[in-house]
A and B are shown apart, each in its own frame.
Chain A
């Protein structure tokens, strides 16, 4: 069985490509069911965030990645071969290493951020609830969550990082110097937008306005940061007074366009406007960059901003990599010994069958024995079989951890005449 990964992230693909490959929650459920249904993959999980979209599958066939690509082409209309340079394909230990890195936050836009851990957990739970995560992906994701937690508790990777929120504050300071008289509009109420608003609010902004299509959440956020709710239909009229806009709606198209901003800038007499677009797909038409004194930062721009921070945190990243290596070794061991389970089970069944066959064969000659003596004979046979199997079972576990273990395990099967059971088992759907 192979673990395979097909994906792209903020390093390999610009936001224009990522937004085409992003899976909404409802799409993920459907995709998971199709991957393990009509497309015949054994297991599947999807990790889709602002910065990455990755499909993890477990497949007995070697062509699992091709199947996944076919799924994308047929259901999502994405031709992976045409976008080949943006996608990465990983298999087995490479997949595990990558997911562990993702969960630890070293592959994140903001190194060490903890939000990704929750997103990995969500991906696992979604796959479990759709029945597409079984033994292999379940173990892989559980272990990634474990190493992710260890990375944050055993190293400093989660502390002092430059997050999107703090980066936004720094950028705002480069434009306005002081934020004391600035008004901020939170357009949409996503989690990252909320964090960003938190940092800006802590920096002493004059006023926070919150608006989204569902007013309830906006009201909650406004209460939390001492801001005010703005009806979604009215936010554009407010742009005259707003200095910083944080856009994070889940709208499929642009919410902020060039015409609207041009009008607002005329009213503002070209006073600088700082726009942060952290939505995927994007909320803001990148054409607004061409307008004087409009400064737009999308999710990719923020990566550049935190790049220096990444360099500073290189030593912590090395510590996390060591943890990942430890966990990888454990996972590798588990993967290998996991293959011995069926063989051990077959051996035990074989011994039980032999014992039972011998008892049946000698049934007539042992009929004079009382119940107690009969149990004694059964016990003798069971003990004998266990003692006989003890050393082979120990050796089987040792073989599993060796490089050529599969050859030796195959030899054990042949020694005990279990080849048929092995083939039957591997042929199971």
Chain B
């Protein structure tokens, strides 16, 4: 990773932290103007992150999947870009309040626990389908993340209403439930395509790079199964149950654990 990229990443991280504080402060202290500044800060941080990634791609001239910091930074960027779009288009108020800390902690993790994929570059260069598999799978993860954010908003709002509180800060239950479903479906579709590409590559690529016991592959299956079950239950008319929202969050956490905690065994 280039120094310029690291600097911009650090600046973006600081801005994500600031946005987190502003959003949380606005929520807990009831200052609506803080929310506006939080959103501005988040948008500016997203722009800084994008410029950092651009600098990295231009200057390092290597695949973006060679470094975990870059991979996570890329996921964070896609998440923020999609999230800010959803916030505006879907009326999912204050989605940024969830996105800002996710972005901050995601980048912090990648910096504190750097992982380099020693052989991945050569493999990816040889088999472009693998790069596409990673990109599509990560986009699926972004869908899961947005779905989980909406599910969290739903559960928080529902909990407040159960306790007799009106929370104008969070979206209406109907909106949160709709966004949860929509992004779970999008995420599941992309994730399934990504998995499919990975399987095609694994069986079709010359040579033997992964064995059947690869933990990252096996860990992807529970995530896929959780979202498949969610979509099935929703499809058969159980769309209003709160426990389905918990299921989405569990599915996202599994996907996150897979992304950050496990590596392909290319040995």
Contacts and interface: CB of A to CB of B under 8 A. Distances in A.
Partners in one complex: yes
Interface of A: 167, 170-171, 173-178, 269-272, 289, 292-293, 295-298, 300-301, 304-305, 308
Given A173-B172, A269-B237, A293-B240, A298 B157 contact: no
Contact of B172 (A174, A270, A305): A174
Contacts of A171: 161, 166
A293 B240 CA distance: 7
A174 B240 contact: no
Task: In the A-B complex, list the 10 residue pairs whose CB atoms are closest, starting with the nearest.
Answer: A301-B164, A177-B172, A270-B240, A177-B174, A305-B166, A295-B161, A175-B173, A174-B172, A292-B242, A177-B175
Interface in B216-249: 237-238, 240-243
Given A292-B242, A304-B165, 15 more contacts: A170-B168, A171-B161, A171-B166, A174-B172, A175-B161, A175-B172, A175-B173, A177-B173, A269-B240, A270-B241, A272-B240, A293-B158, A301-B164, A304-B166, A305-B164
B32 to A, nearest CB: 11
A166 to B, nearest CB: 11
10 contacts: A170-B168, A174-B170, A269-B238, A269-B240, A272-B173, A292-B240, A292-B241, A292-B243, A295-B158, A305-B166
Nearest to B167: A174
B8 to A, nearest CB: 39
A270 B231 CA distance: 17
A295 B162 contact: yes
B241 A174 contact: no
Contacts of A175: 161, 172-174
A41 B190 CA distance: 80
B238 A174 contact: no
Nearest to B175: A177
A153 to B, nearest CB: 31
Interface string B162-205: 10111110101111000000000000000000000000000000
B164 A300 contact: yes
B103 to A, nearest CB: 27
A163 to B, nearest CB: 14
A143 to B, nearest CB: 36
A293 to B, nearest CB: 5
Nearest to A292: B242
B230 to A, nearest CB: 15
A425 B166 CA distance: 58
Report the contact-size class of chain B (Cβ under 8 Å from the partner).
20 to 34
A308 B167 CA distance: 11
Interface string B88-113: 00010000000000000000000000
B267 to A, nearest CB: 48
B162 A174 contact: no
B162 A289 contact: yes
A271 B30 CA distance: 31
A164 to B, nearest CB: 12
Nearest to A173: B172
A305 B168 CA distance: 10
Determine which residue in A174, A177, A301 has the highest number of CB atoms from chain B within 10 A of its CB, and name it.
A174
Contacts of B237: 269
B242 A174 contact: no
A269 B236 CA distance: 11
B157 to A, nearest CB: 7
B252 to A, nearest CB: 21
Contacts of A301: 164-165
Contacts of B241: 270, 292-293
Given A269-B238, A270-B238, A270-B241, A297 B172 contact: no
Contacts of A271: 240
B164 A174 contact: no
Interface string B142-162: 000000000000000110011
Contacts of A269: 237-238, 240
A170 B166 contact: yes
A297 B164 contact: yes
Given A171-B166, A174-B166, A174-B167, A293 B174 contact: no
Contacts of B165: 301, 304-305
Contacts of B243: 292
B173 A298 contact: no
Contacts of B164: 296-298, 300-301, 304-305
Contacts of B158: 293, 295
Given A171-B161, A269-B237, A269-B238, A176 B166 contact: no
A293 B242 CA distance: 8
Contacts of A295: 158, 161-162
Contacts of B175: 177
A119 to B, nearest CB: 24
A300 B175 CA distance: 27
Determine which residue in B161, B168, B172, B243 has the highest number of CB atoms from chain A within 10 A of its CB, and name it.
B161
Contacts of A308: 30
Contacts of A293: 158, 240-242
A292 B237 CA distance: 15
A233 B161 CA distance: 30
Contact of B157 (A167, A174, A270, A297): A174
B104 to A, nearest CB: 28
Nearest to B166: A305
B122 to A, nearest CB: 51
Nearest to B240: A270
Contacts of B161: 171, 174-175, 295
B241 to A, nearest CB: 5
Nearest to A301: B164
A166 B228 CA distance: 41
Contacts of A298: 164
B163 to A, nearest CB: 8
A272 B245 CA distance: 14
A94 to B, nearest CB: 31
A222 B90 CA distance: 36
Nearest to A306: B166
B126 to A, nearest CB: 50
Nearest to B237: A269
A167 B167 CA distance: 12
